[in-house]
């Protein structure tokens, strides 16, 4: 990705990977605008990190996405990076009819939220001299966690969508990155203290190094590669069996 200075808009950046990326980019000297559903967290982050701008956004609300895209691009005509980090992850029991509400919310936030945000910003980014899009899939896009079937399905869809996006934007100034996290110690699925998950700060350091080094493509930290390449390496059945115990 283009070296600093960039102007970056991130969704889902009030905690976890989204906030971590925002703070790392801010420290590098980029102009950072973060969004999220929780206005109290946005206010606290802005107070603790002067220079970071905030805007409330629930990516499940298409009308609000359009409003925010207009607001952000008007206020920051130099905007050249959009990162779609917003996502939810909940367990589902597929024989329980109640799981359908969870599945629908997950698709709306994780998949449609990403598509709608990109749709709103891409025409603007395509007019910039240099620009980038960062989507966030998961190692579970390649081997699912059976406990969270719709989450894994949306991340597989994000991977496929990003592949197509990269091809369609090849003749534009917009470079396309796909961040593929492993399990990371964040509030997602209450993994903050999960010893099987990668600590957040080392993950961020490795991801930022990859982002700086690559022209575009998948951003794969070492920990996620056993999931990413399980089918290629012939270990898919074993990895799926391991994940099935969670």
Q: The whole model's pTM is what?
A: 0.96
Positions annotated as catalytic residues are: 151
The reported pLDDT for the residue numbered 194 is 87
Give the CATH number of domain 7-243: 3.40.50.720
The reported pLDDT for the residue numbered 192 is 86
Q: What is the pLDDT along the chain (246 residues), one digit of tens a residue?
A: 777 799 999 999 999 999 999 999 999 999 999 999 999 999 999 999 999 999 999 999 999 999 999 999 999 999 999 999 999 999 999 999 999 999 999 999 999 999 999 999 999 999 999 999 999 999 999 999 999 999 999 999 999 999 999 999 999 999 999 999 999 999 888 888 888 899 999 999 999 999 999 999 999 999 999 999 999 999 999 999 999 998
Sheet containing 174-179, strands listed edge to edge, beginning at the edge strand earlier in sequence: 53-56, 31-36, 7-11, 81-84, 131-136, 174-179, 217-219
Q: Which helix (H) or strand (E) holds 115?
A: helix 113-125
Annotated domain spans of the chain = 7-243
């Amino acid at each position: 990705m283009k070296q600093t200075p960039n102007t970056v808009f991130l969704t889902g950046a009030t905690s976890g990977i989204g906030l971590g990326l925002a703070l790392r980019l801010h420290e590098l000297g980029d102009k950072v605008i973060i969004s999220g559903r929780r206005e109290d967290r946005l206010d606290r982050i802005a107070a603790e990190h002067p220079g970071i701008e905030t805007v409330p956004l629930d990516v499940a609300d298409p009308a609000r996405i359009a409003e925010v895209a207009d607001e952000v691009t008007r206020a920051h005509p130099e905007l050249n990076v959009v990162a779609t980090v917003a996502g939810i992850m909940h367990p589902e029991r597929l024989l329980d009819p109640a799981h359908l509400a969870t599945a629908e919310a997950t698709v709306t936030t994780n998949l449609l939220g990403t598509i709608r945000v990109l749709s709103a910003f891409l025409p603007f980014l395509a007019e910039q001299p240099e620009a980038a899009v960062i989507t966030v899939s998961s190692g579970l896009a390649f081997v699912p966690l059976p406990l969270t079937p719709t989450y894994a399905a949306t991340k597989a869809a994000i991977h496929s969508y990003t592949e197509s996006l990269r091809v369609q934007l090849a003749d534009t100034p917009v470079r396309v990155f796909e961040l593929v996290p492993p399990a990371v110690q964040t509030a997602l699925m209450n993994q903050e203290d999960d010893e099987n998950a990668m600590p957040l700060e080392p993950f961020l350091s490795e991801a930022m190094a990859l982002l700086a080094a690559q022209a575009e493509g998948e951003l794969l930290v070492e920990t996620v590669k056993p999931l990413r390449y399980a089918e290629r390496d012939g270990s898919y059945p074993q990895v799926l069996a391991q994940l099935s115990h969670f």
